[in-house]
Amino acid sequence: MAYRNPISHFYVKYEITIMHILDTIVAYKKKEVAKAMERTPIKKLELSPLFHRLCNSYTRRLQQKQSSGVIAEFKRRSPSKSAINLGADLQSVTRGYVQAGADGISILTDEHFFGGSHAYLSQVRHDLPEIPLLRKEFVIDEYQVIEAKALGADLILLICEILTAREVAYLAQLARSLGMEVLLELHSEDQLDKFSEHVSVVGVNNRDLTTFAVDYERSKKLYDQLPDDIPKISESGLSDPNTLVMLYEYGFRGFLIGEQFMKHDDPAKACKEFITAYQRLKL
């Protein structure tokens, strides 16, 4: 299969801000992708047994009556919080998430900044073949999309903050052509024009990337400006089941939750208690 790459270079700033963190990550990813392409060419990725599997649909799960909408994340650490739960067991946590009622699992594959691993995604795919898996990664190149399919992902994340509208459209179209769904993450109103017809679900990030403040009203405002026929999920700052009920009543149908679960000694138990409380309040 031949691929066209219109991805442009990114201008890297070095202010000590959250934007600096993102720019630093993107600069690192460009080098990381170049090395990966030399080590494992696209043709080799396409030979992976997982590359030809049919993907599980997260958006279809959202339509089910008993859906929690929750995508529970496995994340050991982050640049801002450093260690979150370095000792968490991948298999027990992810199996526990499914038993708790999660409709999807997010797996960090970035090793340098988040302590993730490509192997984590493939391991969970083999262990839990029916659950939709989101590859949580800073995707800037078509190679990473193809790689995601080869690793067993059902869903990829595209972050508006680090991509142009043209890049979003191209990468989303490529992902959909490979059978995967696309989660587009928005942070502000000036990113609304980056929406693409190939996007499967939109994630509205509640956190302001310049101040770190969480503002659900801002998320509601973004929600109202998105197409009616696209599922919307809420991301960041989701620590109270009552907040999920409020967002659900406004129209959000899914929720990406990571640190709230992973900061506990038993993330799977925390996830089960959270989803149970949310489902009870939603009745």
The pLDDT tens digits of the residues spanning 145-157 come to 999 999 999 999 9
Mean pLDDT over residues 222-236, rounded? 94
pTM summary value: 0.92
| H or E element that contains 112 | none
Is residue 75 over pLDDT 80? Answer: yes
- Which of the residues 68, 196, 200, 205 is marked catalytic? 205
For the chain, domain boundaries: 18-282
The whole-number average pLDDT for the span 184-211 is 92
In the predicted structure, residue 8 carries a pLDDT above the cut 60: no
Contact 141, 7 (CB under 8 A): yes
For the question of residue 73 being annotated catalytic, the response is yes
The two three-digit tokens of residue 54, written as one number: 């049919």
From the candidates 32, 85, 106, 136, give the one annotated as an active-site residue. Answer: 136
273 a catalytic residue = no
75 is catalytic: yes
Q: In the annotation, is 38 catalytic?
A: no
Q: Which of 73, 142, 147, 161 is catalytic?
A: 73
The one catalytic residue among 147, 185, 200, 232: 185
pLDDT reported for residue 14: 33
Q: What is the mean pLDDT of the chain?
A: 92
**What tokens does 139 get?**
């995707």
Domain 18-282 has CATH 3.20.20.70: yes
Q: Considering the candidates 167, 236, 259, 272, report the single residue annotated as catalytic.
A: 236
Q: Phi and psi (nearest 5°) for 73?
A: -105, 140
Rg of the chain (C-alpha set)? 18
Q: Which residues of 187-203 are buried (b: 16+ CB within 10 A; e: fewer)?
A: beeebeebbbebbbbbb
Band of the pLDDT at 212, cuts 50, 70, 90? confident
Is residue 232 annotated as part of the catalytic site, yes or no?
no
Residue 3 has pLDDT above 70, yes or no: no
pLDDT at site 1:
55
* 5 is an active site residue: no
pLDDT over 70, % of the chain = 92
Higher pLDDT, 14 or 132: 132
pLDDT in tens, 163-193: 999 999 999 999 999 999 999 999 999 999 9
Task: List the end-to-end C-alpha distance of the chain, in Å, as a whole number.
Answer: 48
Q: Catalytic one among 29, 32, 68, 75? A: 75
pLDDT band, residue 11 (cuts 50/70/90): very low
What is the residue whose two structure tokens read 């409380």? 277
Q: Is there a catalytic annotation at residue 236?
A: yes
pLDDT at 13 over 50: no
Per the model's pLDDT, the better-predicted residue between 249 and 12 turns out to be 249
